[in-house]
């Protein structure tokens, strides 16, 4: 359905639908909080006296947020699906990095950043798109449908084909890059 989308909204909507389903398969039930908004002083005192009480935030005289520990955690999300998707993604990413990009560029390529479904490279080459054009191994793994219409590497039929990498810059060459890291 995403491939047949007629506009950006429809394409983004179907992408979000897939991402939302995936996100639900990876939801951590252990990290969920139980918070109750309380405006009654008696109810507030009752919650504070519970053995599961963790924290209270007072917003004003009439509103408090009480955080309680979850006594029972119900594991009702299919996390095995999410793990399987991530493992398949890792396999595709490592295969592309080591068996395609590293094999072709050797020491002339450096992986700057990676995520679940993206790679950012610093490549020492005269012309990356010329490399794509003359090397089928590189081009076969790329969705080049968003490149300009007159671009020699553009293949419109590859639009949104699962498993292909796309150029998020649509043919523009990045000269600067900054990534933030969290521990």
Distance CA 149, CA 133 (A): 15
Contact 152, 133 (CB under 8 A): yes
pTM equals: 0.70
Please tell me the distance from the alpha carbon of residue 108 to that of residue 122, in angstroms, as a whole number.
8
Residues 6+ apart with CB under 8 A from 57: 64, 65, 67
Report the pLDDT averaged over residues 114-119: 85
Pairwise CA distance, residues 83 & 171, whole Å: 33
> Residue 91: its pLDDT value, please?
92
Confidence of residue 8 (pLDDT cuts 50, 70, 90): confident
26 pLDDT band (50/70/90 cuts)?
confident
Is pLDDT above 90 for 169? no
The pLDDT value given to residue 181: 78
pLDDT of amino acid 54: 95
CB 81, CB 25: distance < 8 Å: yes
Block residue for tokens 């020699």: 152
| Average pLDDT of the residues in 66-92 | 90
Report whether 37 contacts 57 (CB < 8 A). no
């Amino acid at each position: 359905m995403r491939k047949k989308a007629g506009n950006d909204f429809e394409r983004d909507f179907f992408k979000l639908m897939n991402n939302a389903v995936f996100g639900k398969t990876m939801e951590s039930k252990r990290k969920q909080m139980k918070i109750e908004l309380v405006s009654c002083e008696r109810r507030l005192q009752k919650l504070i006296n519970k053995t599961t009480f963790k924290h209270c935030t007072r917003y004003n005289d009439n509103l408090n947020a009480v955080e309680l520990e979850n006594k029972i955690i119900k594991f009702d999300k299919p996390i095995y699906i999410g793990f399987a998707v991530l493992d398949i993604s890792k396999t595709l990413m490592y295969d592309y990095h080591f068996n395609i990009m590293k094999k072709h560029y050797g020491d002339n390529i450096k992986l700057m950043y990676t995520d679940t479904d993206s790679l950012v490279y610093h490549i020492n080459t005269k012309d990356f798109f010329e490399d794509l054009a003359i090397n089928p191994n590189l081009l076969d793994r790329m969705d080049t449908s968003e490149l300009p219409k007159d671009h020699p590497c553009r293949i419109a039929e590859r639009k949104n084909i699962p498993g292909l990498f796309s150029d998020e810059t649509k043919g523009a060459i990045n000269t600067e890059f900054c990534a933030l890291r969290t521990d």
